[in-house]
Structure formats: C-alpha cells, structure tokens
A and B are shown apart, each in its own frame.
Chain A
C-alpha cells in the first residue's frame, strides 16, 4: 500500500512539474506545438491599428491576473515588458509614450518637454514640471531622478534591470552607486548635473540619439533617497504616478489605490480611470482564461495570449471572438541564428541554403497558426520605427524553395548535405515544435539536424551566450527570439547584430555576425538626425543582416488576448510591446 501510494504521488508530482514548467516556459509561447487547424480568414480586432471601447468614465476596480509576480517592483530592477507597463500605474518617468494606438511617439511626463540634444546626442537637458509630488506629499526634484538613476550603478544590490544608463553615463573613475558614494549627499555621479531642483543636465560619454527612450523607461523614475530601502525597495516603491501600493503580498496579490498626491493637472498622459487595481498573481493559464471569460477578471497582464483550449473555442465562435478578444503583434521576432564560426556555416552559401529551405508557414503553424504569428521576411518587426517591407529570400507562399536551397548547397561545396546541431528551449513546447519543423525542412536538402534541448533558465547564459561553447559543441543553428527594449531600430539591433559587441560571456550576437556594412549602418542610423537618412541607414542594416543569412527571421509574434466585457481603452503601445495598461478603464 505504502509503495503504491508513493508511486502515485511521485507520478502526480512529475506530471505536475511538467505541467507547471510547460506553463511557466510558456511565457511568450502561444501554445502547444502542432497547430494543425488553420482557421482560414479570421476576423479579429487588432489593437495595433485602432483603439477599442474608448471611454473617459472613471470608477470601478480593474481586476488583473498574471502568471507570476513582477521580476521586481523596484523601477531600477524590473525588465519584463509587462512590468514596465504596470510600472506606469505607480511611477512616472521624465518622458512617456503617447497614449494612441501603435504610437512610439514620446511625450513629456515629469519633464516639461521632449528635448533635443544641441551637440549631436551628448548633452540632454530636462526641466521638471511644477506641482509634481511623491505619495507622501514631498515634491519631486531633479535630485530624486538623479538618485534613481544612480541606484542602477550599484549593480551588486540593484540588479536585474537594464543598464543602459551605466553604458552612457559611466565616468572615469567608475561610479559604483550611491551606497558606496563618498560624497555626503550621495549624488556624486558627475555626468548628471542638477543645478537646481527643476533642471537635469545629462553629459553622455558618447553620442546617443535614442537617449529620450531611456528617459521614458523605468530607469528614469524618481526615487526619494530618504525612502530608499536598497534591495527591499520592491516591497513598497514610493509612488509618483496616479496609484500607490495599498496591500502587497509578494507572488500572491497587489492592490493599488489612488495616490491623492498625484495632480492630474501635471499629467497629460495618464487618465487614471479605475478607482483601484487588484492584481492576482501566480495563476495557471487555463484558470486565467476562464476567470476572464466568466467576468471574474478584466485582463491578463502577461499578454501572451489565450491558452490552447480557449483558442480552439474562440476560433469556432466568431461572436465571442469579436466581442472579447484582440490580436496584437507583440513586437517580438522569432528567428534562428546560424553560427558563422561553426563549419560549414562559415560559408555564406551554406547559410543561404538554410534560409531558402525554411518553410515559414510551417513555423507559424508550429506556434499555433495565424493568431500566433505571421511569416517574417525582415528582422525589424512592423511595430518598430523605420520598419521597411522587403524579402531577400522570396519563396512561394513563404513555404521554402528546395531547388534554390540545393543550388546554394552546391555552391557551398556540400551538394550531398551535412550534419549539424540545432539548439532550442526544451521547456517551451512551441519552440520545440518550431525546431522540429526546421529539422524536417532541412532534411529535404540533405542537412541532418540533431535538436539539442536546454532549460530556458540556462539557455542564454550558459549555452548561446558563450561563443566558445557554441563552437566547441558545434551548435550551427539556434532557435531564439527578441523584442526591443524601446521601439527604435537601434534598440532592436544594437545588441543582437553589432559585430563589435561580440562578448566571451553574455553574448547576444549568437551567430557572431561581424559585417562592416551592418556595423556602419548602425552607426549611421544612430547618428542620423533626419528621417530620410535614418530610414536608409536602418534598412541597410536590416537588409545586411538578412542578406548575411547569419540570422534568419522566422515569425513576427502575435498574441490573441481576451478581455472582460467591461474593459475600456484597449490599444497597443510599441514601447511596452503590448496593450497600454495605464489607459485601461472598466466603465463603458
């Protein structure tokens, strides 16, 4: 009996582990594998081009659900797109994104205007508005914003968030954050000047025309020094936005209530419609869908789309689909890197062969069909500025071209094909399905692919991020995906294709592409001051990357999301790569 019951429980536990891991890995996975059912022409509201259920009515409680708690509520330590979006309920930055569908336009938030740099991107000056206050009533000054940025430099305590401010503001000798700051006011970072309480002057160590985007990210959130609790700050970040923490139980729930010190007259961006916001965390995907479907909740904050079961139901119920869902581009590109330092992929013709052989329609199906994505001919997704449509490896219906692929193999001197390895995240079913589809595509031209699976927690740090490891193990192909930290082509490209950013550890240019045309294009694009030049430069980069076949764009990700029947102001903001939460209301 004992043995029996132990056996049962062990089985249950393993099953549970699998279930949960699949769900967690699902983070940005649209669903399991096979896809099979092509729903034909599905008419689904798309937030990327319009605003749904506009309303200015205040009141009510927005009930939100999430698969897990934020990586951190500390503005300096959060890196999940959904959490940056949620931050806007409680915190304001110098700048913000305009609240309009698919708008990457920056507007002033705590600052009075969006500045331009007088010297080609090295100096940036911001002036603060009057009447801006923290939740405790104390005024927000330029020093609070400087202090908030300084915290990012204390990487041994404040880590996990983006470190762009360190890249551009680090001084000589290196600043190590306010906790080790010898100056009495802890404001020793010389690259930021605060001549008075209203003015901030940034002196960057190199020109950077995208700086305003960084100042629209949580890194530019004011933090009052007196209330800074170091690595505990996530327990109660001091609100500068329209809502503040009321009750927070980490990993379980968070209630936000109105911040009575927030003055709507100082804020053109936030409408702050709901009276309160309740977030319930750590729920299972199917449970989340059903709660929203039944009106127990309004929105799924992860915005990774509905689970397989509900998707099937929605695809067969046009009325429900129209009334309760939207399909959103996620600003995320699924692509495959072809390691240029692993033979025979050092030869461009062998890479071209792969680029021609891949069936992108099969990739879309592997991720769950047209509601999960669209075939991608370019690296830049359509949500990023300066996106241009082109196809350098045209194949019939994006389904691959065996003849052209074989001709390239011939040119590569491998007419009979060869063997190579493809890496993927084993706990992401859709990615494994993608890898399997590629395996069968390449089989057709004689390339035998062995799929090697890794856990997602180790995938980038221990496998793809170490070039020597890729070379030693002979990982010629790798499945991956990427979304930009801000909706500009520089934000999208800089760390993944710049040949000068290949690192021994923590590398993001997995294919080790080092193409002078691409590198120069990035510099040109960054330096460009007018739209025409920028467009030319970034299209050159995009084309250069695709042409190199070191990276093969596969899918522009999409997600079909479900909402309650009372939610208002649903639209997509590229800066968060999802629906803008701060605009949502619950009274129609």
Chain B
C-alpha cells in the first residue's frame, strides 16, 4: 500500500513537472518564435530600446531557455532575485514567478485569490453533495414515480443550463429585482462570517445547481445498479429492515463512484470556477487567470496554471488512494 501511494505521488510529480515544462514553453517560447519579445509586454507602452534591454536582462530572457526554466523551477523552492545592475527585485519562495504588470510575486496573487476560490468551492461542494446525493437516492428509491421523473427532468435542465445563464438570472432576481442580496462582493470569512456566507450564497446556489444535477443523476444510476445486485436481494430476503438495506448496504457501495467523481470535481473547482467567479465578480484563481490572459501577464498565467494543475493532480492521487483502500483490486496497477 505504501509503495502504491509513493508510486502515485511520484507519478503526480512527474505530471506536474511536465505541465510546468509545457506551459513554460508555451508562454515563453511561442512569443519568441513569433518574433515578439516578452520583455516588450513588461516594459510598458511604446518602450525605448534601452528599457526593453534592461527588462530583458532583469527577467533573464537573454539566457538559454533551459537556464530560464531552471531558474523558474529553482525559484519555487528557494526564491529568486531578478537582477539588473544595482536594482534587484526579490521574489521569496515559493516563487512562482514575478508579475511585472502587478509589481508583485505571483504567489501573492495566488494567496490572495485562494481564500475566495476555496470559499466558493467548499460551500458549493457541501450544497451540491448533500442535495445531489439526496435527490439521487430518493429518485432511485422512487424509481419511475412522479418524484423520480420530476427530479430527473429538473436535473436534465440544470445540467444543460450554463452557469453564465443561471448566474445572471440569479443576479437579476436576488440582487437587482428582489434586493435580497444587494451589491454582492467578497468579504473575508475572518472579517465577518455572516457577511461572507451572505455574499457567497447566490454563487454557491448557482454552482450547486449545475453540479447537484450531475450528482443526482450519477447517484441515481449507481444506486439503481446496486439495488439490483444479488446481495441486496439476499439482505432483503434475510429480513433486514429497508432503511438498513438502503443505508448500510446499498448506499455504501453506490457512493464509491460518486466520491471518486467528487474528488476530481473538487480538485478542478479549487483550480478556479472561472465562470461563476467572473459572473459574480469574485476574484478567485479562475478570474485571476482570465485577467492575466487578457492582459498578457505571462508569469501569472504560468504560476496559476501550475498551481491549479497541482489541485487536479492532488485530487487524482487522493481518489486513487481512496479507491485502493476501498477496492483492493486496483492496488497492483
């Protein structure tokens, strides 16, 4: 088991490394081959040649690509000095690059965005897990009845509606029309937990609406599968009360795939819910990366991408390990 975990972690590190290499090449090599110097992007509007040269030197853009990449990688662990003669900019570890557009280490950007993304993802996750699984179980138990059909129709609708639609409708209704949640803005949890929840609630509901629909469908399918298994028939035959059959025997088995998917979903949600964050004006990782893309802030794009990829890789490892714990058959792989 320990070997399995170690193998998975090492695999994850290799994947992260590959991602970092590819994104690095994408953002620093591609502009170069197209003939535009990334330093021009950092040096401001119509810069002089001397300014471009100085920025090039400071960012190390004149070094061979391998050296540039090595400096980037090293910076994550030991920090990095950007030098140009007597002027030095220090980027402390973990240095995921330095955004010369925002005049701050990318890590600061990430740590500022992270609580917002966490708040959004975790709150929504609780909502959609509880409601989605609940509806799924109910639907499976009442298979074919009105409640099942109603729930599944609703779920189909919810899965089909994009967040940028439901988000805007939500804003229109609760914020502009009914004035229940006016002037939505992010308030840090530690400042005021009540205001924090109040401002996030509409966004949680919008995200949960989409996800719980998927979870309801998944739970229902998985539950129906399990309920048709022989051991459930056996459990019923030996006279176990229905709540025990469902709650203890069926549910545990049915939830395994749900938890798997949940792990992966949470991983990608923590990487930033681009649309929801953008619609509600929450500047989490998703919105940060979109802004970085539109302003050509290469170090921020690179840093956030690697960081978000980290969450997905971590979630995958956790799910794999979880699976291995539950199902011994997967361990040798």
Residues of chain A having any CB pair with chain B under 8 Å: 1-2, 5, 8-9, 11-13, 15-17, 19-21, 24-25, 68, 72, 77, 79, 154-157, 159-163, 166, 179-180, 230-232, 234-235, 249-253, 280, 282-284, 286-287, 290-291, 293-294, 296-297, 427, 457-458, 461-462, 465, 495, 505-506, 508
Contacts and interface: CB of A to CB of B under 8 A. Distances in A.
Contact of B58 (A8, A13, A156): A156
A16 B175 contact: no
22 contacts: A19-B164, A21-B294, A156-B54, A157-B87, A159-B42, A159-B43, A159-B44, A160-B44, A231-B103, A235-B103, A251-B102, A252-B112, A280-B185, A280-B281, A282-B281, A284-B278, A287-B279, A290-B172, A290-B175, A296-B182, A457-B295, A461-B40
Nearest to B268: A9
A287 B164 CA distance: 12
B220 to A, nearest CB: 12
Nearest to B260: A2
B48 A12 contact: no
A77 B264 CA distance: 42
Given A72-B103, A290-B175, A251 B291 contact: yes
Contacts of A283: 281
B261 A1 contact: yes
A277 to B, nearest CB: 15
Which of B102, B103, B186, B278 has the largest count of A CB atoms less than 10 A from its CB? Answer: B103
Given A5-B265, A283-B281, A16 B274 contact: yes
A72 B42 CA distance: 13
A286 B171 CA distance: 10
A250 B278 contact: no
A380 B179 CA distance: 46
B287 interface: yes
B194 interface: no
A15 B275 contact: yes
Contact of B159 (A8, A17, A249, A457): A8
B281 A508 contact: no
Interface residues of B, number: 67
B234 interface: no
Interface in B75-91: 84-87, 89
A253 B185 contact: yes
Interface in B20-39: 34-36
A19 B103 contact: no
Contacts of A249: 112
B41 interface: yes
A2 B86 contact: no
A68 B291 contact: yes
A92 to B, nearest CB: 23
Contacts of A280: 185, 281
A24 B291 contact: yes
A382 B107 CA distance: 46
A20 B182 contact: no
Interface string B273-316: 01100111101001110110111100000000000000000000
A284 B279 contact: yes
B256 to A, nearest CB: 13
Contacts of A252: 112, 186, 283
B179 A79 contact: no
B47 A506 contact: yes
Contacts of A251: 102, 283, 288, 291
Nearest to A18: B164
A309 to B, nearest CB: 10
A25 B290 CA distance: 12
Which of B50, B102, B104 has the largest count of A CB atoms less than 10 A from its CB? Answer: B102
Given A16-B163, A16-B290, A230-B89, 4 more contacts: A12-B275, A163-B46, A166-B48, A251-B283
Contacts of A11: 162
Contact of A457 (B41, B42, B172, B179): B41
Nearest to A250: B102
Nearest to A296: B183
B55 interface: yes
B253 interface: no
B214 interface: yes
A294 B35 CA distance: 48
A462 B34 contact: yes
B179 to A, nearest CB: 7
Contacts of A294: 175-176, 179, 182
A508 B35 contact: no
B284 to A, nearest CB: 11
A25 B295 CA distance: 10
B275 A287 contact: no
B48 A155 contact: yes
Contacts of A9: 268
B232 to A, nearest CB: 22
Nearest to A309: B168
A160 B287 CA distance: 23
Contact of A1 (B162, B172, B185, B218): B218
Interface string B184-197: 01100000000000
B51 interface: yes
A19 B45 contact: no
A11 B104 CA distance: 32
B185 to A, nearest CB: 6
B196 to A, nearest CB: 14
Contacts of A282: 281, 283, 287, 291
A462 B36 contact: yes
Contacts of B49: 505
Contacts of B175: 290, 294
Contacts of B40: 461, 506
Contacts of A162: 45
Contacts of A235: 103
Interface in B92-149: 100, 102-104, 112
A15 B290 CA distance: 12
Nearest to A13: B274
B72 to A, nearest CB: 20
B162 A15 contact: yes
